[in-house]
Structure 1
Amino acid sequence: MKIKKIVAALLTAVMVPTFMSFEAFAAELTVSAENVSVSEGEKFDFPVKLSGNPGIMTVGFNVNYPEALTLKSVKNGEVFEDNCLETGPMDKSPYTVSFLDPSIKDTSKNGVLLTLTFEVKQGANGEYPISFSTDSLSGALNVNEEWIDMSFKDGSVVIGDAEEKQTELITKRQEDKTTLVTTEQTTAVTTEQTSEETTEESTEQTEGESKTDENTALFDTIKLTIGSNIVLIGDKELEMDAKPYIQSQSSSTLVPLRFASVAILGGDASNSDSSDLIEWDPEKKSATIHLPQKDVTFTADSSEIIIDSEAVEMDYGVKAEITEGRMYIPFRALGNALGVAVDWDAESKTAIYTVK
Structure 2
Amino acid sequence: EESTEATTEAAPVVAGYDFVVDNEAIGDVSNVGDVLFTSDEAEVKANLPIVLKSPDDGNAVSIGENAYVKYLQSEADEYTSVTFAGEDAVTKIRIAIAITAKKDMTLKVDNKIGSKKINYLIGNYDEAAATATVLDKYENTGSSSEFGTLTATVKAGETVYFAGKGTNPVFFAADFDASESSDVSTDASTETTTAEEVSTESTTDAQACDVVVAVDSISAKAGDTVEVPVRVTKQPGLATLGVYVAYDPALTLDQAKTAASDAKELFQAAGAGVTINADGNPVMYSSVTPEDAPSAAAAKLFSLYVTIPANAAAGTKFNIAPVYTGNASVEGAFDALYNQLTVGFVGGVITVEGTEVSTEASTQASTEATTSKVEPTSQATTQAVESSSQATTKSQATTSNTETTTSRRRSSGGGGGGSSSGRIVVNGRSSVATTEASTEATTSSVVDKADGNATGFTKDIKVTIDSNIVLIGDAEVEMDAAAYIQEESDSTLVPLRFVAIAITEGSVESVQQADSSEIVSWDAATKTATIKAMGKVVKFTAGSDIMVVGTDTRVMDNGVVAEITNDRMYVPFRALGNALGVKVEWDEATRTAIYLAKK
TM bracket, shorter-chain basis: 0.3 to 0.5
Relative CO higher for 1 or 2, CA cutoff 8 Å, sep ≥ 6? 1
Q: Normalising by structure 2, what TM-score?
A: 0.29
| Structure in which a larger fraction of residues adopt helix | 1
TM-score (norm 1): 0.46
